[in-house]
Amino acid sequence: MHAYGPVPSRRLGRSIGVSPIPPKTCSYTCVYCQLGRTTKLTVKRESFYPKEDVLRDIEKIVALNEADYLTFVGDGEPTLSRDLGWLIRECRRRFSLKIAVITNGSLFFDPDVREQVLEADVILPSLDAGSEEVFRRINRPHPSIRFDQMLEGQVMLRELFDGQIWEEVMLVSGLNDSDQALSEIRDCLDRLGADRVYLNVPIRPPAEEWVMPPSPERVLRASEILGNAWDISGYETGEFGLGGFSSAAEAILQLCSRHPMRIDQAEMVERRFGEEGVIESLIRSGELKLITYRGKSYVAPARFRRGGRPS
């Protein structure tokens, strides 16, 4: 199932997600990733699935749900799909929804990647570092990607793209929350000329268990240094769209594979289907795992791979 949701988004309201790539296929293996460690670290762009099949999945979900955005986000990096441009064009032709692309921003140095996203309404790239050193430590990119190359690609995208660019900065305690690191990020943001800057912290179980958000005081300091950043470090609220699912088990498994859910969110899905004991059954069967992070319990797919504390 390539399309899912809508899911509640702090930036995009009710967002129907689209994944045109296999799980955990990415050009980064970020320490904070809510989907666990990357299993296929690559920069090779491919047609991973028949694009017509992806489009049919989108059509089914759009027909059953009201939403604010149709968002290409993937279970890794969506710009690795060679079919992204075709899918965006077809969705723009067929649906009235606004189109967003959530991306790590690593591949825009490639002219073809820039060309493929130009018909979107909003592009949401990440910028978690202002230097090569911090870039390597927090995003852990494919060895072929250099920080200056990534940044220049985003600068070139801004020069071409007529829509909105909303940059997101994910803060991790001890990695990119010092005054120096934040000042370096601000200097890069000044070059990019984004329409908005979102300031975020890890709220779901990260790929590395040692990853923690900065203190509230450091988040406030980050907002001061970056200037005019939108703080979205709180927990999201709202219901998940369940159109197209035949059971609570199917809905929870599909949604968790792209968006690990708090226990209270998964229990809400159970209630909406009038079912009980589904979460416990999925955990017992090994299809889901229970993870605690920052005092909250989450359910995540069995394939979720998490690193231990550094020695």
The domains found in the chain, sorted by start residue, are: 3-246 (3.20.20.70)
* φ and ψ of 104, to 5 deg: -80, -10
Give per-residue pLDDT as tens, 153-195. 999 999 999 999 999 999 999 999 999 999 999 999 999 999 9
pLDDT at 237 over 80: no
User: According to the model, what pLDDT value does residue 166 have?
Assistant: 97
pLDDT at 46 over 50: yes
Is 278 in a helix, a strand, or coil? helix
Q: By the 8 A CB rule, do 122 and 166 touch?
A: yes
- % of residues, the chain, pLDDT over 90: 66
CA angle 32, 42, 162 (to 5 degrees): 75
Question: How sure is the predictor about 11, in pLDDT bands with cuts at 50, 70 and 90?
Answer: confident
Give per-residue pLDDT as tens, 256-295. 877 788 898 889 889 988 998 999 999 999 888 888 888 8
Q: To which residue do tokens 């007529």 refer?
A: 162
pLDDT at 311 over 50: no
Provide mean pLDDT across the span 132-161. Answer: 97
How far apart are alpha carbons 51 and 2 in whole angstroms? 10
User: According to the model, what pLDDT value does residue 5 have?
Assistant: 81
Give per-residue pLDDT as tens, 49-97. 999 999 999 999 999 888 899 999 978 899 999 999 999 999 999 999 9
If you ran DSSP here, which 8-state letter would residue 57 be given?
A: H
Strands 164-170 and 296-301 turn out to be unpaired
Question: How sure is the predictor about 308, in pLDDT bands with cuts at 50, 70 and 90?
Answer: low
Q: By the 8 A CB rule, do 110 and 81 touch?
A: no
User: According to the model, what pLDDT value does residue 232 have?
Assistant: 78
pLDDT at 111 over 80: yes
Handedness of CA 227, 233, 234, 237 (dihedral sign): positive
Which pair of tokens denotes residue 1? 């199932």
pLDDT at 13 over 80: yes
User: According to the model, what pLDDT value does residue 25 have?
Assistant: 95
Which pair of tokens denotes residue 220? 């406030």
How far apart are alpha carbons 278 and 283 in whole angstroms? 9
